[in-house]
Amino acid sequence: MPLIETRNLSKTYVMGAENVHALQDVSMTIEKGEYVAIMGPSGSGKSTLMNLIGCLDTPTKGEYYLNSKKVSQMNDNELANIRNREIGFVFQTFNLLPRATALHNVELPLIYNGTPTRDRQDMAKLALTKVQLEDRMDHKPSELSGGQRQRVAIARALVNNPSLILADEPTGNLDSKTSEDIMVLLNDLHRQGNTIIIVTHERNVARHAKRILSILDGRIAEDQIIKESDRNGVH
């Protein structure tokens, strides 16, 4: 079974007297261990697709299966549970608690799911070590660079051993050198067996992935496999 399967997934927003079809009949599969980029200009529907894949929203019609679970008809509590256990999120704006240390920020998903304190700390330390921040565990976000903050956010996404890492414009607030470092880190995490989906409007970021889904006018316009020779920043 694929990790992700959508069948005629659609999302319509009612804006006053107008219906806006943000996503229209999107059918696709993503296997475990894939590295996929979802690309498209503003208004293409890529953010809507990300919200549905991330169980942050529900479709107007169609079906969505994640790890063989039919999530398209789940209620809010069930979706929250799936998000916490199955998906690790990485956001453009990092979304870190400013007064908490890197270690505590990474622990947060484990606090929400009731993991015991000692296990939480061990798991958070391991996640920070995976992103090469073992010497910054006690630092607060204001004491970290932009790249280090994003590494903390990636460690937080990893800490639950989720089925999927979902990264929304993960380099959007970073300079080009730091962006490259973050993409190399994501490449390494993929090589370790993680399934990664990146949502981006930048072609040079998307080309780190093995497959690019191009979204236009709410539909998949192209599904492209990237040759190894064409990928960026692979060491």
What is the spatial distance between Cα 1 and Cα 11, in angstroms, rounded to a whole number? 25
Residue 166 near residue 54 (C-beta atoms within 8 A): yes
Identify which of 21, 54, 37, 50 has the alpha carbon closest to the alpha carbon of residue 217: 21
102 lies in some domain? yes
Residue 170 corresponds to which tokens in the numbers above?
């993960």
CATH number for the domain that contains residue 85: 3.40.50.300
Residue 118 near residue 82 (C-beta atoms within 8 A): no
**Bridge partner list, 6:** 28, 64
**Which pLDDT value is given to residue 227?**
84
**CB 167: neighbour CB atoms within 10 A?**
26
Ranges of beta strands (E only) in 147-195 are 164-168
70 lies in some domain? no
pLDDT in tens, the chain (235 residues): 899 999 999 999 999 999 999 999 999 999 999 999 999 999 999 999 999 999 999 999 999 999 999 999 899 999 999 999 999 999 999 999 999 999 999 999 999 888 999 899 999 999 999 999 999 999 999 999 999 999 999 999 999 999 999 999 999 999 999 999 999 999 999 999 999 999 999 999 999 999 999 999 999 999 999 988 777 654 4
What is the spatial distance between Cα 216 and Cα 200, in angstroms, rounded to a whole number? 13
Q: Is 160 helix (H, G, I), strand (E, B) or coil?
A: coil
**Which pLDDT value is given to residue 232?**
64
Domain residues for the domain of 108 are 33-60+75-230
**Which pLDDT value is given to residue 234?**
47
**Which pLDDT value is given to residue 231?**
77
14 lies in some domain? no
21 lies in some domain? no
Total count of domains within the chain: 1
Query: What's CA 93's distance to the chain center, in Å?
Result: 13
226 lies in some domain? yes
Which residues, 6+ apart, have CB-to-CB distance to 76 below 8 Å? none
182 lies in some domain? yes
Residue with tokens 């962006």: 179
**Which pLDDT value is given to residue 235?**
43
204 lies in some domain? yes
What is the spatial distance between Cα 54 and Cα 56, in angstroms, rounded to a whole number? 5
Query: Phi and psi (nearest 5°) for 8?
Result: 50, 40
What is the spatial distance between Cα 53 and Cα 45, in angstroms, rounded to a whole number? 12
State pTM to two decimals. Answer: 0.94
68 lies in some domain? no
What is the spatial distance between Cα 2 and Cα 59, in angstroms, rounded to a whole number? 20
